[in-house]
Amino acid sequence: MRADAAGTVRDALIAAGARGLLVADENCPPALLAGLPPGTRVLSNRWDLCVAARDCGLEVSFSDFALPATADLELIACRVPKERAVVRHLINRAWHALAPGGRLLLWGGKHTGIKTHGKEAASAFGGAPEVRKLGTDYLAVATRTGATLHSLDDADYEVLRPLLAYGARVLFTKPGLFGWDQIDPGSALLAAQLPGIFAAGGAPARLLDLGCGYGYLSVAAHAHGADADAVTATDTCAAALLACAKNFAAHGIAGEVVPSDCADGIAEHFDLVLCNPPFHRGFAADQELCARFFRAAASHLHRAGRALFVTHRVVPAAALAQGVFRSCEQIAATPSFQVHLLQGPRRAPLT
Ligand SMILES: C[S@@+](CC[C@H](N)C(=O)[O-])C[C@H]1O[C@@H](n2cnc3c(N)ncnc32)[C@H](O)[C@@H]1O
């Protein structure tokens, strides 16, 4: 049987035992988690993957790529993330986590920039690039040989910066977050509907920002009259949660910022759900993920509650809402985006 990259990584992690670490972001194949022996160490920036890994008996930590600076690991493996700043941050942090002679394994398809990332990892670690094709992916191996790290420019990945604004309200963001360097026009279109929605039905007593990112929609809702403690914001991404918490603190929003997989584990029902759902997972389009957000919104609304969803025009929002909400009305549209007001949730029971 021909070796593939994920299988090679799995075997290397098994061989490294407690001195191995899988770094799992949204591009990590779920089958890899299922193929690892219980007790294997996994660090993920995604709450949904942490839950999946825990269910497989793996030893999980949830953080924004905060690898330990313990210099004692033999192996770190990661399917290459989408953002260059994240990859470079990971390479820098991996050097501090690995023992001398330890190896960083990165893998991914040609379109992920894996060859460039492999070269950069080798130059940071002070060795020669080692990249080979295994199945449809490429595997890059960098060995910690040099005594010093030739640190890569990761655009200060860890630092949240006051880069954007909602009106006079400054918003902290950083590379890797959705719409991090420019307010997403879809989110802005949704926010522009809030004054009309609040005028018609009053500001919501309880509001859920589903897939909150750095909290743009929550800040907008607060700016238009939602109470400081009315908001619960949730996301699966550790960096998004940190940024959202920072923006809540900056604007006196006392609401909760909760990690979840599509609001799983949030038992409360809300008057209003605001959502700009993802329709990509890593490098791939994922309509089922988008559909889950519609179902999650319905499950988390009071019977008289409403949801506002903004989607790209290519997303069949009305079809995704069908069977989940009794009413789905398009209330705004641009050539690229559409906002739907969803009412009459047909709730699946909360788990
Ligand atoms: C299109 S972005 C919208 C972000 C933010 N609401 C805004 O308007 O700027 C979608 C968000 O959903 C989050 N997300 C993706 N999968 C998720 C899941 N399974 N559970 C919760 N959040 C998820 C992403 O991390 C991302 O922050």
Dump pLDDT digits (tens) for 69-125.
999 999 999 999 999 999 999 999 999 999 999 999 999 999 999 999 999 999 999
- H or E stretch covering 340: strand 337-345
Q: Is the CB of 259 under 6 A from ligand 1?
A: no
Q: How many CB atoms lie within 10 A of CB 239?
A: 25
Distance 217 CA to ligand 1 centre (A): 11
Q: Which spans in the chain are helix H?
A: 5-16, 30-34, 47-55, 84-97, 114-125, 185-201, 216-223, 238-250, 287-299, 317-321
**Predicted pLDDT of residue 285:** 74
Residues 6 or more apart in contact with residue 236 via CB below 8 angstroms: 46, 47, 48, 211, 259, 260, 261, 262
Dump pLDDT digits (tens) for 263-301.
999 999 999 999 999 987 766 777 899 999 999 999 999
Q: Is the CB of 211 under 6 A from ligand 1?
A: yes
Q: Is the CB of 276 under 6 A from ligand 1?
A: yes
Q: Is the CB of 261 under 6 A from ligand 1?
A: yes
The span from the CA of 189 to the CA of 179, in Å, is: 14
The span from the CA of 279 to the CA of 289, in Å, is: 7
Distance 293 CA to ligand 1 centre (A): 9
Contact 259, 62 (CB under 8 A): yes
Q: Is the CB of 212 under 6 A from ligand 1?
A: yes
Residue nearest ligand 1's atom 1 by CA:
278
**Predicted pLDDT of residue 87:** 98
Confidence of residue 348 (pLDDT cuts 50, 70, 90): low
**Predicted pLDDT of residue 350:** 56
Query: How do beta strands 337-345 and 325-333 pair?
Result: antiparallel
Measure CA 114 to chain center. 20
* pTM listed for this prediction: 0.95
Q: Is the CB of 176 under 6 A from ligand 1?
A: no
Query: Residue 48 above 60 pLDDT?
Result: yes
- Which domains occur in the chain, in start order? 5-143 (3.40.50.150), 161-345 (3.40.50.150)
Confidence of residue 27 (pLDDT cuts 50, 70, 90): very high
The token duo for 75 is 């192996």
Contact 33, 25 (CB under 8 A): no
Contact 12, 75 (CB under 8 A): yes
Cα distances (angstroms) measured from residue 243 to each of 117, 246, 254:
26, 5, 15
**Predicted pLDDT of residue 293:** 98
- Adjacent-strand bridge partners of 275: 210, 309
The answer to whether the Cα torsion of 260, 261, 265, 269 is positive or negative is positive
Q: Is the CB of 210 under 6 A from ligand 1?
A: no
Distance 276 CA to ligand 1 centre (A): 7
Rounded mean pLDDT of 166-187?
96
- H or E stretch covering 262: none
Ramachandran angles phi, psi of 220, nearest 5°: -65, -45
Q: Is the CB of 125 under 6 A from ligand 1?
A: no
**Predicted pLDDT of residue 287:** 85
* The length of the chain, given as a count of residues: 351
Contact 340, 329 (CB under 8 A): yes
The answer to whether the Cα torsion of 219, 221, 226, 230 is positive or negative is negative
Mean pLDDT of the chain: 95
**How many helices (DSSP H) and strands (DSSP E) are in the chain?**
10, 18
Rounded mean pLDDT of 321-332?
97
